[in-house]
Structure 1
Amino acid sequence: AINSLKNVESIALLQFLQPILNMLLHLIGDGGETLQVAAFRAMVNILTRVQQESSDGAERNKFLVNYVDFAFDDFGDRQTPVYPGLSTVWGSLARSKAKGYRVGPVYDDVLAMAWFFLELIVKSMGLEQSRLFYHNLPLGEDVPPLQLKEGVFRCIMQLFDCLLTEVHERCKKGLNLAKRLNSTLAFFCYDLLSIIEPRQVFELVSLYMDKFAGVCQSVLHDCKLTFLQIICDHDLFVEMPGRDPTDRNYLSSVLIQEIFLTLDHDDLSQRAKAARILVVLICKHEFDARYQKSEDKLYIAQLYFPLIGQILDEMPVFYNLNAIEKREVLVVILQIIRNLDDTTLIKAWQQSIARTRLFFKLLEECITHFEHNRTGDSLLLGSSSRSPDAERPASPKYSDRLSPSVNAYLSEASRHEIRVCCQIIYRSLIFQQ
């Protein structure tokens, strides 16, 4: 009966999509091993048909998105959640593929529809979290994270590892599916950060970083940057704990390390992407209504302060950047210093005289790259008068010769930037005395 579902006509399949998927998920979540495998394979076939026969050009088919978002309720309290069974049967198939066993062409379809299965797993976890805590939660308190059982989490780790292997191997072959799967895994971790214990998600992130450690291929490194860009855009990024109870924000430390490594790459597009990730995050924190108190801004500045230390330790990396990249890195540095307290700065400068001199070199670079230009000069948004013409970016909004009012605005902004740098230098000299 399960195998005959592949013969259902397309119109009938869409008309009865919800009850068909519910039935198959019921078997996957609460059936025996044979039924689970048969139901999973039938479900892959149905999802692939729906994706192909009712496609509107989007990667995430609207009928399937609607099912996950609105129709799927994980059967309420009538049976165990779907995610343990779904993770188990999918993980078993993935491990068989990893060991070299023949699993048939169905596995490529599984990877293409991975976003759907992973969103189902997340939705199932979220519904269980709500059922466990919602009615017993005092008014105004946040729902506590769901702690996955060791066996279930181990199964998810194994599945995640197998999918990472697919990304790694298919990236080397230049397959587009690899990039889509990489983004899918990133959004999976992103969603889990809002549902399960963050340190369990950090185990997945650590597994990812280990899998991609030391890679030199440009496409693989780009996948790693995309993965971090998606995860670190989480609303609770600033408030994330360390991997160990005594550590501070784990994600920020991983991000800073990878950003710095990328700045030392020869690939200009990846260096630009890394610098842009930093700038966007800093801007997001600066204008986040939750972090407007001085102590919050100080905490954020301290999270990113290790980046300055890494740059000071490897100044040749900074000098190898082009003018545009230097400006973006320097904007981040100035924003960090602006919100730091005097104690942190003094402690950092007291480590060595050589390190302090390098710090002032960075401030001199700020004055150079944010140099004031006279009103009426031909300016490009984001460029410096000392930047070679080849390094000046084309403005996405204005013509090459900006209007007088825009020039006046940029001139005043440049004066303000120089005043900030001078104030920092003056304060630094006072502390050194």
Structure 2
Amino acid sequence: MKYVIIGASAAGINGAENLRALDKNAEIVLISKDTAIYSRCILHHYIGNMRDLDGINFVDKDFFEKNNINWMKGREVISLDEKNKTIKLDGDEVVTFDKVLIATGSRPFFPPIENIHGKNNVVGLKSLDDCNTILELSKTSKHIVVVGAGLIGMDAVVGLLHNSNVNAKISLIEMADRLLPLQLDKEASLAYEEKMIEHGVDLHFTSKVTGLDVDPENDSLINGLYFETTRDDRTDIEHIPADLVIICAGVRPNIQFLENTSIATDRLGLLFNPKGETSVKDIYGAGDVSGRGTIWSVAVKEGIAATSNMAGVERDMDDFFYAKSTMNFFDIPTLSLGCHSAFDKIEGLTVESIREKNGVYKKIAHKDGHIYGAIIQGDLAYTGVLAQLIRLYIDISKIKKSIFNIDYSDFFNIDAEQQFEYRD
């Protein structure tokens, strides 16, 4: 049996390791455009000079030798032929397979701004190559602009602030009215906003980039951005200087090589069922290539589940909590469960919040005895209970105490193996 895995991040690497554990004799080939293995979750540590390449690597140095995996690194997949079971790489090299896992992840999405592509000082943030470009350009930059204040945008800003070699003025442009609009409400966002301002970052909310100020002497560079800001029903066009622009306005799945195949995709990304199976036999998918905003831990589990089924060991992609984000910017730990930007669309949802004496902020959204989401900031000790209540869809309506004081003892017993077990 010859297994091929495309992609060397969370789903691909953990899937490859799992395949070797399940099938000692199979041929395993891993293809990646990357030439190093690294965690995309902590790229801001690399930008901030807090970790080197070894510090963001999440496998042992002898990983590929130990697991007898042929790593074809620095190679780009051009196309896939599902009928003949072949993969075409750059340089017209062809790789055959019996079963393949598509774990190609995602790439930065650039807003539809005229001539934005091909500018040498406009870069996304999704790969080690992106980081190295940012580090090189930031050495001489006087004005750095980050577009997008989601998790990747926050990573970019915080990483730059930690880097002592960066002496530029940093600005952040966001279409929403706050930082991290998908994860946080205004109050939780404010804690990070205040820290950003303390560190000299200019924040531009309810703002949208509309055009480029292209260098008249070199059209491959820009000197700044034009953006419109809406305040009190008034829209103003503004200009901001920039010799480095980092685009963090979302991602798109890496599925270009599937264009001429019969493998099913939708507007978000690759489609696969709970076993990781796509619409074509022997072709599987896992991780962020689905376009569903898969977090690292889920991508790991999906890669393991998909490769288990590839090897004939039945396993489903279940029991995963997708809308979960844990962050710790400026030493302020925060956990978000659920998509808070969508809560106002849920009819009958009750949202309660509290600011405790120790400064800890808690917010919980619930309906008909079930918790839909929460924000906990300052002390994450309570988050384990909430995650279990949401994941298991436990009815809390019979509990008379405050929703902020619910604990494991209200719903769980300790079993014979000293593990918490849900008590209905």
What TM-score comes out, normalization by structure 1 length? 0.27
Structure 2 length-normalised TM: 0.28
Rg larger for:
1
Q: Higher relative contact order at CA 8 Å, sep ≥6: structure 1 or structure 2?
A: 2
